[in-house]
Structure 1
Amino acid sequence: MSEVRIPSQSAQTTKLLLESKRPEISEIELTLFENCNIVCDFCFHDKKSQVGLSKEEMFSKIPIMDEFLSRQQNRVKIAQINVVGGELFQDRWMERLNQDYYELLIETKKSFDKYNLKMKVVFVSNFLFKKKESVKELIDKLRDYGIDTHLIVSYDFEGRPLSKSYWDNVTYFGPEYICSVNLVGTSGSIKKFIENKDNNFKYFYKNFNIFFDDFIPDNGSDDLIPSDREFSQWYKYIADNFPLIQPVADLINNQNNSMHCLSLNKVTIFPDNKTSNCRWHRYKQTDFNTKLNLKDNSGMMQNFIDEMGCLQCEYFSRCGFRCFTQWDWKNRKRDMEICPMKSFFNHIEGKQD
């Protein structure tokens, strides 16, 4: 049995060291339910689960959000709710759930007002729904109530079916409603991306903001995790060919960046009301090298900083780091001696590793 790594510093010390890197926005990852109408390679949700679908279950999350927001006042000015499923906008129960979403968020706004925080909301969707007018009505009503509300479109390089409805919705909502098109950086999607043969992606890049999310591993997903070398090649390819893609664009253009991970300012609320600042509660110690703490990510952060030599790195202020959960995953392929992020910065600065 391999040895579990214990962080060299206390959680509080780690957070103090990273204070300058803490994002200036807080985030609530509001996972209402896992039920979904499609299967994606990178998603391990229970597609048939009914947990969280009732209005009562949704509203039971309000006190959890209120408690989190109470701790964010005087730390940030903006807090964003990422409303996710499963798939939120399924035609079979669109009208009922959209009304529930509206009432849930209107009620939640009282907490934002109480703690003097600006409220932002994004709905994450696979965009395969047909009742687009109902989705637009929901967003317009929330905006009329003073809530900054947008959509995030999910796109998959590895073959998720794209129906006529998908493209109708993309055209119908456009940049006014779609704040970004999000992709997930699995090993396979990175390879497809670097082949540069996807005309759909080129359309998105020309017309929308693009965000490439790190893949957050789950049990049985080892083959989806990019190796260090793949990760480094991925970022370098973005810089050379698609430099407007976030979060890489900020790394190219800014000398000071917050870290990409929001876990210092974040709570994830699961359908059954369990919470974490990052990881799924089904994770086990055997998945990770660092001692697992579902409530606090600072142990993995500290071990990342120690191993990568971040505090001594010339790019510390500029770097956004990596997904700490992915980095610490025990069965990830580690095939570079140099930090992949440092190699990326050397590349854009024209330096040798």
Structure 2
Amino acid sequence: MVDVLAEKKGPTKEAHLILFEKCNLRCSFCHQDHDSTVGLDADEIMRKGIKLVEQSDLEAPIVINITGGELFTDDIPDWMFGYYHALGEYLLNNFKRAKLVFGTNLVYENVWRVERLITMLNTLSDRELQTVSLATSYDPAGRFNPAQRELFFKNLERVGMWVDTVNVVITKQNIEVFLNDREGDEVKDLAYDYDLYFDHYIPSERYEEHQPTESQIRQLYLKLAKKYPLSYPIAAWKKQAFNETTCRSTKIINKDGVVTTCWSEAGKDAVLDEGQGLAAKHAAEERFIEHYGCLSCEYYQRCGLRCFLHHSFVEGSTTECEIKLLFDEIL
């Protein structure tokens, strides 16, 4: 199998360890089973780390996203944090150039446990080659009630020094909020203080409710270019002549310990086998770049080429690329 975008994807690999899916929030666009306790087991947590090490190039630079569900919710017992620490230490001891990122919604009272975990792991890391950080999400629509939003910002003040990115999911509902200037003044602060990244919605079984069209996404980006030019990917498009692809062929170890790809996350036509998932993704990449003539596009090196999983869920036969039209306007 030839990866036609290998050079465009860059040298850094990416992995996603989903330790379990149990969560204290009920985000309307999330595909996970928030009541599931599958994977909520100390031995299973370590087995996932071992599996990743056994199947990876330990010399290559890698970003390892460690998530739930919600790892840090108040009903997670203290002793589980010992296993989070053991997992992080194991990964740091094996991957020479690693960035460990713990994903969290920041909606819980016992934030001191998170501070302790990240501080302790950072003392173990090689500061020149390894980092340990947090990533969180802020969505004006479909994530928080007012009390949860207040707690989010309270905790962000406490752990913000370790927050790597704040993601916003590109759903139809979030796009509508931004286009109508209803996102709130706090988003301006997030864009200034953090890497505010607008991330593609992973289609779930409710994708028809949440999945935006290509045109809607372009309208969002146009708005962001004017109002939040420091947000990503807008800032990267404007500053950098070369940008790697949005998709890194992420290796996922899911709550059951199964090694899959991002294609296993989709509620429609899920592919749980890693080899089959990669084959499906490569086929989608080839269809995409042939359909839009990406290799001959003047913006090819600057463009992240979007999320191929997203594009496979969006109907349409036009060969006119909305992102190319966007670049024509903002560059």
Give the secondary structure class of the aligned counterpart of 2:52.
helix
> Please, which of 48, 51, 64 is the counterpart of residue 61 of structure 1?
48
User: Matched residues in 2 for 1:208 and 1:300: separation?
Assistant: 32
Superposed displacement of residue 79, structure 1: 0.8
SS in 2 for 1:246: coil
Aligned to 1:293, the other structure's residue is in SS state helix
Tell me: CA distance 1:163–1:282, structure 2 relative to 1, closer, same or farther (3 Å).
Answer: closer
Residue 22, structure 1, aligned to residue 9, structure 2: yes
The counterpart of 1:166, out of the listed 132, 152, 165, is: 152
1:333 Cα offset (Å)? 4.5
Q: C-alpha separation between the residues in 2 aligned to 1:209 and 1:19?
A: 26
Q: Select the residue among 38, 55, 61 that pairs with 1:51.
A: 38
Please state whether the residue corresponding to 1:149 is helix, strand or coil.
strand
State whether structure 2 residue 260 is matched by structure 1 residue 276.
yes
Structure 1 residue 110: deviation in Å? 2.9
Extract unaligned runs of 5+ from structure 1.
1-10
Residues 33-52 of structure 1 aligned to structure 2 (within 5 Å): 33-52=20-39
Relative to structure 1, the CA distance from residue 233 to residue 209 in structure 2 (aligned partners, 3 Å threshold; closer, same or farther) is: same
In structure 2, the residue matched to 1:213 is 199
**In the aligned structure 1, how far is the partner of 2:268 from the partner of 2:159?**
40
TM-score by length of 1: 0.85
2: CA distance between counterparts of 1:68 and 1:307?
A: 33
Please, which moves more after superposition, 21-30 or 130-139?
Answer: 21-30
Check conservation: 1:155, 1:182, Cα contact below 8 A. yes
CA shift, 1:156, in A, is: 1.4
Contact 1:68 1:267 in 2 (8 A): no
Find the residue that maps to 1:40 and give its secondary structure. Answer: coil
Whole-angstrom CA distance in 2 between matches of 1:258 and 1:267 = 17
1:137 deviates by: 0.3
> Aligned match of 1:132 in 108, 111, 119?
111
The aligned residue for residue 242 of structure 1 is 228
- What secondary structure is seen at the aligned counterpart in 2 of 1:93? coil
Work out the CA distance in 2 between the residues paired with 1:128 and 1:179. 17
Distance 1:283 1:171 in 2: 35
CA-CA distance at 1:96 after TM superposition = 2.0
Q: CA RMSD in A?
A: 2.0
Kindly indicate whether structure 1 or structure 2 has the higher relative contact order, using CA contacts under 8 Å at least 6 residues apart: 1
Q: Which of 84, 90, 95 lines up with 1:101 in the alignment?
A: 84
Deviates more, 1:95-104 or 1:275-284: 275-284
**What residue in structure 2 maps to residue 149 of structure 1?**
132
What is residue 231 of structure 1 aligned with on the other side? Answer: 217
Shift of 1:19: 2.5
CA gap 1:110/1:173 in 2 versus in 1, 3 angstroms: closer
CA distance in 2, matches of 1:53, 1:107: 18
1:33 Cα shift?
0.5
Give, in angstroms, the shift of residue 327 of structure 1: 0.1
- 1:30 Cα deviation (Å)? 0.8
**Secondary structure, counterpart of 2:56 in structure 1:** helix
Cα distance, 1:335–1:190 mapped onto 2, change above 3 Å: farther
User: How many equivalent pairs are there?
Assistant: 319
Structure 2: distance between partners of 1:325 and 1:96: 37
Q: Deviations over 1:43-99 (max 9, x none)?
A: 0211111111101111111232113323x63xx4x2111111101111112412211
SS at match of 1:167: helix
**Structure 2 length-normalised TM:** 0.90
- Please state how far the C-alpha of 1:123 moved relative to its aligned partner: 1.0
- Give % identity: 28
| Structure 2 counterpart of 1:204 | 190
